[in-house]
Amino acid sequence: MKTSLIALIAFILSCQLALVTCACPPGMYIANSQCKPCSPGNYCLNDESKPCPAGTINTDVGQTTCQACPKNYITNQQHTACIPCHYRTNEDLTFCLLPNTPMNALEITKVENHLTNITEGESNYFFKKIKFGNGQATELVTVQETFSLLVNKRLMIFASKLTGMPGKDNYQYVGSGVNTTLGIVGKAGTEEMYYFNVILMESIPRFANELFIQDFTTVIQAERPLMGMGKNIVSLSEHVETIIEFKNTIYMNDPLNFNLEFSDPSVEVYYSTNPDIQFPNPNNSFFVSYNSKSVSFQVRNPPTGMIRVAIYKKVNNGKAIVTISPIKK
C-alpha cells in the first residue's frame, strides 16, 4: 500500500512539473483513449511514448528512462540491445567504424560547415554519417559534399563507405580542385557512414591550411520544380539545395532574363545551361549570388532548351519568386 501511494504521488508530481494533465501513470502512454505500457526500446512520460535516444536502450516494458550503452557499443535498430564494436564508434553511437579507420580520422558532425586544419602532402582522413533525405523507398537521393580550401591550392578527395582509408585504388567517389563537390548517392530515408581521404596536392611550407567542408544537403530529383515563363513561386528548405528547371524552345533566339527575389537573403545561387550537369554547384556552374535579397541574370537559351538553377538555403525556410522573361533584340 505504501509503495502504491509513493508511485501515485510521483505520478502526480511528474504531471504537475511538466504543466500538463496526465491520464496515465509513468511508463504508460495513451493510445485509442487507453493507457498502454511502454514497449521495449521506448520510454514513456506524460502520456507519450518516445524511442530511446541514440546510444541508449530499454529491454523491459513500462519504462520512463533509457539506459546508456557502454563505451564502444552501439544499439540495435530497435534500441533493445547494445552491440559491441570491435574498433570504435561515431560520436552519437549509431555506427561502428570500420576496423581500418585511422585513429586520427576526424568526424564531420556539423550540419552545414566544418572547419579544420589539414597537413600538406599527406592523407587527411574524415568520416561522416550521411542522411539521404526523405522520399519514396525506391528513390535514389544524391547528397553533395563540397570541400573547399581557404587558400588557392588544389585538393584531391577520395570517398568510400567500404573502407576507412579510401585512396586511388579503392575509392567509390573521387574529385579534385580548389572547390570539390562529390555527389554521393543512396536510398531515400537511409543513413550510411562514408569515409574521406583529403590530400593537399601543392606544398605550402610553414602555413596551416584550413579546410572548409560544406554539406550541400539532399536533392531528390522527383521534387524538382519546373519553371515556366513569367512568375514562379518556389519553396526553399533550410540547409537544402533546391534545383529548379526551365525548358522552353519558343524563345531559342532571344536571351532570357531571370529575376530572383528571396524572402530571406541567406542563399547561394548557381545556374548551368549544360544538360549533363544535374546538380549545379560552385565547381561546375556559374555563380550568381551570395546573401542577396534579389538578383538578376541573363541566359541565352541553350540548344536543348534546358536551364537549371540551384538555390542553396543556408538557414531558415523561405520562398523564392523566380520571374522569367524574354529579352527581345
Phi-psi region of 316 (alpha: psi -120 to 50; beta: other; left: phi over 0): left
Residue with cell 545551361: 273
DSSP reduced 3-state for 5: helix
Per-residue pLDDT at 206: 31
- Residue 3 has a pLDDT of 43
Q: Which residue has the higher pLDDT, 275 or 127?
A: 127
Tell how many helices (H) and how many strands (E) occur in the chain: 1, 26
Assess contact for 100 and 106: CB atoms under 8 A.
Answer: no
CA distance 262 to 93: 39
Q: What is the pLDDT of residue 79?
A: 92
Band of the pLDDT at 156, cuts 50, 70, 90? confident
Q: Which among 214, 209, 216, 215 has a CA at the least distance from the CA of 150?
A: 209
**For residue 233, which of 302, 242, 241 has the smallest C-alpha distance?**
242
- The answer for 55, left when phi > 0, alpha when psi is -120 to 50, beta otherwise, is left
Domains within the chain, CATH numbers bracketed: 2-82 (2.10.50), 106-219 (2.60.120.380), 224-326 (2.60.120.380)
Amino acid, res. 307: I
Residue percentage of the chain with pLDDT more than 70 = 75
Q: Are 271 and 307 in contact (CB under 8 A)?
A: yes
Q: What is the pLDDT of residues 160-182, one digit of tens each?
A: 999 999 988 888 887 777 677 78
C-alpha cell recorded at residue 123? 592523407
Q: Which of 106, 76, 107, 187 is nearest to 140 (CA)?
A: 187
* Residue pLDDT, tens place only, 6-42: 544 455 455 545 555 567 888 999 988 889 999 999 9
Q: Which residue from 144, 159, 140 is spatially nearest to 197, judged by alpha carbons? A: 159
